[in-house]
């Protein structure tokens, strides 16, 4: 009897909101994640205290073909309006399958799920290419959330294809005005509110007092989001994803979004690992891999300020 409590199911398939299929991942120390097969969409990531680390809008519609507002939408084969397809491409509003024959790659976790997306006839009319998109979502032993995407060109006609991509991660924060982002200082960015005009960020950590929608180019492999009020720091580690998008709609835009609460912008921040500046081109048989690892660590105060050195040492 005692074993059943500790031997919790690491991977459980069940029904989510509106009867949509989802997978719950559990890690022995108590952290969890939830992934909907609709969009291969991570909608929850909780630490071992049961605190939700991702933001999902209270008005999110779990009704296909509408994308889910919050969590981690997957943007493919197009990020934003960088192309002729619908905003953020179509991967986030397609039904994915569980991948029964995933490629071998090591994971030190038993708590993971492999999903796969292949083009439908409708998709091929919009984007005439054959591909296999494999996504592994895993919970690490310390509660870290890892997403690994593998996209392969399976065109039989010899044609290459080109795409942009992002993990459109919505982080839950206590108060947007108390948050700062480190790791993007002095970098060039495209300002999506100014017709993608290119500018250079100032030398200070990013703080927020109005709408922001920027694509930072050639970013470091590690970015930190420091939440003063929660004394929590999110650390993003990324591989194969050179760019980073930072987005918050602020009050005016929030009021125009039917699936987003008027004041919810105060409690979320998107920092997205992405490939936007230099799109990926794959020849037939070639594969691209993009990996994102998210961790949440306690941040320590030092003379009233968060000490970034300690954050980096702890992570």
Active site residue 272: yes
Is 132 assigned a catalytic role? Answer: no
User: Is residue 74 within 8 Å of 59, Cβ to Cβ?
Assistant: no
Of these residues, 34, 264, 272, 293, which one is catalytic?
Answer: 272
Best CA proximity match to 268, nearest among 78, 59, 89: 59
Bridge-based pairing of strands 11-15 and 21-26 is: antiparallel
Other CB atoms within a 10 A radius of the CB of residue 310 amount to: 16
> What count of other Cβ atoms lies within 10 Å of the Cβ of residue 70?
26
Catalytic, out of 168, 182, 228, 264: 168
Tokens linked to 42: 């991570």
CB 47 within 8 A of CB 296: yes
Supply the DSSP string of the chain, one letter for each residue: -HHHHHS--SEEEEE-GGG-EEEEEE-TTS-EEEEETBTTEEEEEE-TT--B-B-B-TT----TTSPPSBSB-EEBS--TTSSSSSTTBSGGGSB-EE-SSPPP---S-S-EEEEEE---HHHHHHS---EEEEEEEEE-TTS-EEEEEEEEE--SS---EEEEEEE--EEE-S-GGGEEEES-TT-EEEETTTTTEEEE--SS-B--SS-EEEEESS--SEEEEEETTTTEEEEEEEES--EEEEEE-HHHHHHH-TTS-TTGGGGEEEEEEEEEEEEEEE-TT-EEEEEEEEEEEEPPEETTEE-HHHHHHH-
Q: Which residues are the active-site residues?
A: 168, 272
């Amino acid at each position: 009897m005692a074993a059943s409590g500790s031997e919790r199911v690491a991977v459980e398939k069940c029904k989510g909101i509106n009867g949509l299929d989802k997978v719950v991942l559990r890690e022995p120390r108590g952290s969890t994640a939830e992934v909907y097969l609709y969009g291969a969409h991570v909608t929850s990531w909780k630490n071992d205290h049961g605190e939700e680390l991702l933001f999902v809008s209270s008005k999110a519609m779990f009704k296909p073909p509408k994308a889910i507002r919050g969590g981690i939408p997957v943007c493919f084969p197009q990020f934003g309006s960088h192309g002729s397809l619908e905003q953020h491409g179509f991967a986030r509003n397609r039904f994915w399958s569980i991948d029964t024959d995933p490629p071998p790659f090591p994971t030190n976790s038993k708590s993971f799920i492999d999903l796969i997306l292949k083009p439908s006839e409708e998709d091929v009319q919009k984007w005439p290419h054959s591909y296999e998109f494999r996504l592994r979502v895993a919970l690490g032993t310390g509660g870290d959330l890892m997403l690994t995407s593998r996209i392969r060109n399976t065109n039989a006609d010899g044609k290459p294809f080109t795409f942009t991509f992002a993990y459109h991660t919505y982080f839950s924060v206590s108060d947007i005005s108390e948050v700062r982002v480190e790791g993007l200082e002095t970098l060039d960015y495209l300002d999506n509110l100014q017709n993608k005009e290119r500018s250079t960020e100032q030398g200070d950590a990013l703080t927020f007092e109005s709408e922001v929608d920027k694509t930072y180019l050639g970013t470091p492999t590690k970015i930190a989001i420091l939440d003063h009020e929660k004394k929590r720091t999110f650390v993003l580690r990324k591989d194969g994803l050179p760019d980073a998008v930072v987005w918050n709609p602020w009050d005016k835009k929030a009021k125009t979004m039917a699936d987003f609460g008027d004041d919810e912008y105060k409690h979320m921040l998107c920092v997205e690992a992405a490939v936007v500046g230099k799109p990926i081109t794959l020849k037939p048989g070639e594969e691209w891999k993009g990996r994102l690892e998210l961790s949440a660590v306690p941040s320590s105060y030092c003379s009233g300020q968060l000490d970034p050195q300690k954050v980096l040492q702890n992570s």
